[in-house]
Amino acid sequence: MVTVPDSIALVPVPSSLVRVDGPAFRFGPGLRLVTGDTPEEISLGVLAADLVGRRVGHPIDLVMGADGEGQVIAFALDPQAGPAGAEAAERYALTVTDVRIEITAPTPAGLLRGLTTLRQLGVRGADGVLEVPAVVIEDGPRYAWRGLSLDVVRHFLSVDLVKAVLSVMGDYKLNVLHLHLTDDQGWRIALPSRPLLTELSGQGEVGGGAGGFYTAEDYATLVAYAAARHITIVPEIDMPGHINAALHAYGELTPTGEATSAYTGIEVGFSQLDPDLPATARFLTDVFTDLAAMTPGEYLHIGGDEVFGLGAPEYAWFVRTAQDIAHAAGKKVVGWQEIVGAPLDPGAVVQYWDTRVATEPFVAAALAGATLLLSPGSKVYLDMKYDAATELGLEWAGHIELRDAYEWEPEDLIPGLPAGSILGVEAAVWTETITTGDDLFGMLLPRLAAVAEVAWSPADSRDWEGFRTRVAGQAALWDHAGLAWYRSPQVDW
């Protein structure tokens, strides 16, 4: 158990934090930033100098190589750094004395996670000078996949808004942004082989608003903005259901050959592809191949949820075909939990969301080589209302107050899973009722910080009382960034 003094309000709480007797590091005028001279260390150093400089209010010198005299923040790659056992790619160690802050990590991603911790550690002293208390932190993630699924279809979210989401994700050490890019109401990603998808279905959204879509350049911008934060984008094309936007653009995908009407409601489960039409397989090949070519990350999400109009063999054909196309394009697949009923290749990721179903099939899939991504609707669906008085949001999975999003144990959700089969935890926010950035952040914050801690911190470091104290310290940062957030009555803000 890590007992964190009140003044150290880290979220997520680190694996190990020792408060050292000794004066704080006070950011002085001669402070220099020192990195190793590999390209990764230099680019991290540039980012760190910028971030630290903004916070202290004057530019910081970046030096490569030797430390020299005076106050230093040093970043270095070191294969041994960080706690043993933690997910290796993102662990780090952070040591603070009055003259030196040192961050070491085995990878550039780990250095960035350490820098993120350093930013949360800084507090203004009585004289207004930024200070960091003397500490030794060893930290690393519990799970390799710590995600957020974002529905940019029901209401379209601009590139700038998605960037703001990525920034907040980085602040809480989340590392996967899953973009739900297609659904009944719209098609939000331009694909070169199928231009009508966005020409005819890019506009429009729930309630009849304008909608919109990402061009290939927009998408590349988001991928790069995410990559700078060591966040991977996992794009989803939802099929064979939730597909009306495609049927509206390409009539050849319907049995009559007639395009369907645009849809602006919020019902689910009424549209599906037809496995008997020759156009269907061509369509799947085109869209997943294009998407793979635009996506540097190793995963494509193939959807698979809420298909009410197909038999099991037809549904299985879609899952089989989408896996084959993704593999041919060099990608692994993720699908919503319903894919568990279809034959899966080893390495497929099953995203668990509806906690009302029997859990045995997930155990069977894991025994056969699948891994589980946990998005239990009743805990991490951040489009659920906080309570009956919440203006926005849905209620089908219940109300989710901050404590509900925090106080659950991933390993207890699905009894009997083989060890190591949980790949990670992913929050989700669906946008049927969410239109603006304020709407969105008002639902995400503070609950996203809670889910991030569930996904990052070791089970024995977490406790609600500690979290409710530490999360209160985040509100000033959200205010400073101009972000809306929900004043949960469970926290003394």
Q: Which is nearer to ligand TNX, 288 or 381 (CB)?
A: 381
Q: How far is the CB of 74 from ligand TNX (least distance, A)?
A: 45
Residue tagged 């506009």 (tokens): 203
CB of 317 to ligand TNX, least distance (A): 20
Which tokens sit at 331? 């990608």
| Cα 109 from chain centroid (whole Å) | 15
Active site residues: 306
Beta strands 135-139 and 92-96, pairing class: antiparallel
Minimal distance, residue 97 CB to ligand TNX, in Å? 48
Site residues (CB under 6 A) for ligand TNX, limited to 311-340:
336
* CB of 121 or CB of 153, closer to ligand TNX: 153
C-alpha separations of 106 from 81, 86, 103 in Å: 6, 12, 10
483 with 168: CB under 8 angstroms? yes
Give 110's contacts (C-beta < 8 A, 6+ positions apart): 81, 82, 89, 90, 91, 92, 140
Q: Do 31 and 60 form a contact (C-beta atoms < 8 A)?
A: yes
Binding residue for ligand TNX (CB under 6 A) from 138, 236, 305, 453? 305
Q: How far is the CB of 435 from ligand TNX (least distance, A)?
A: 15
Ranges within 173-192 binding ligand TNX (CB under 6 A): none
The encoded tokens of residue 90 equal 């993102």
Query: Binding-site residue total for ligand TNX (CB under 6 A)?
Result: 10
We find the least distance from the C-beta atom of residue 356 to ligand TNX, in angstroms, to be 12
- Neighbour tally for 197: CB within 10 Å: 27
Task: Dig out the tokens for 103 from the structure.
Answer: 């961050």
Nearer to ligand TNX, 216 or 266 (CB): 266
Contacts with 349 (C-beta within 8 Å, 6 or more apart), sequence order: 299, 332, 333, 334, 335, 370, 371, 372, 373, 423
Q: Looking at beta carbons only, is 238 or 453 nearer to ligand TNX?
A: 238
Q: Which of 75, 288, 353, 386 touches ligand TNX (CB under 6 A)?
A: 353
Contacting residues for 126 by C-beta, under 8 A, at least 6 apart: none
- Nearest distance, CB of residue 344 and ligand TNX, angstroms: 17
Q: Which is nearer to ligand TNX, 408 or 430 (CB)?
A: 430
CB neighbour list of residue 241: distance below 8 Å, 6 or more residues apart? 268, 269, 271, 272, 303, 304, 305, 306, 307, 308, 309, 310
Q: Is 441 in the site for ligand TNX (CB under 6 A)?
A: no
The residue written with tokens 């990590």 in the block is 105
| Per-residue x/- track, 130-169, ligand TNX (CB under 6 A) | ----------------------------------------
> Least distance to ligand TNX from the beta carbon of 386, Å?
14
Residues between 83 and 102 with contacts to ligand TNX, criterion CB under 6 A: none
3-state secondary structure of 64: strand
Decide whether 383 or 426 has the Cβ nearer to ligand TNX. 383
Pick the binder of ligand TNX from 430, 441, 456, 485 (CB under 6 A).
430
Residue owning tokens 């930024």:
130
Q: In sequence order, what DSSP letters do the residues of 123-144 get, joined into one string?
A: EE-TTS-EEE--EEEEE--S-S
User: Which residue, 52 or 372, is less far from ligand TNX as judged by CB?
Assistant: 372
Angle at 134 between CA 132 and CA 139, to 5 degrees: 90
Instruction: Work out the angle at residue 37's Cα, subtended by the Cα atoms of residues 34 and 39, and round it to the nearest 5 degrees.
Output: 115
Chain positions 262 to 291 lying near ligand TNX, rule: CB under 6 A, are: 268
**Residue 164 or 443 having the CB closest to ligand TNX:** 443
**How far apart are CB 371 and ligand TNX at their closest, in Å?**
18
Question: Which position among 306, 314, 345, 463 is part of the footprint of ligand TNX (CB under 6 A)?
Answer: 306
Residues numbered 377 to 396 that lie near ligand TNX (CB under 6 A) are 381, 383, 394
Residue 374 near residue 385, CB atoms below 8 Å: no
Residues that bind ligand TNX (CB under 6 A): 268, 305-306, 336, 353, 381, 383, 394, 430, 432
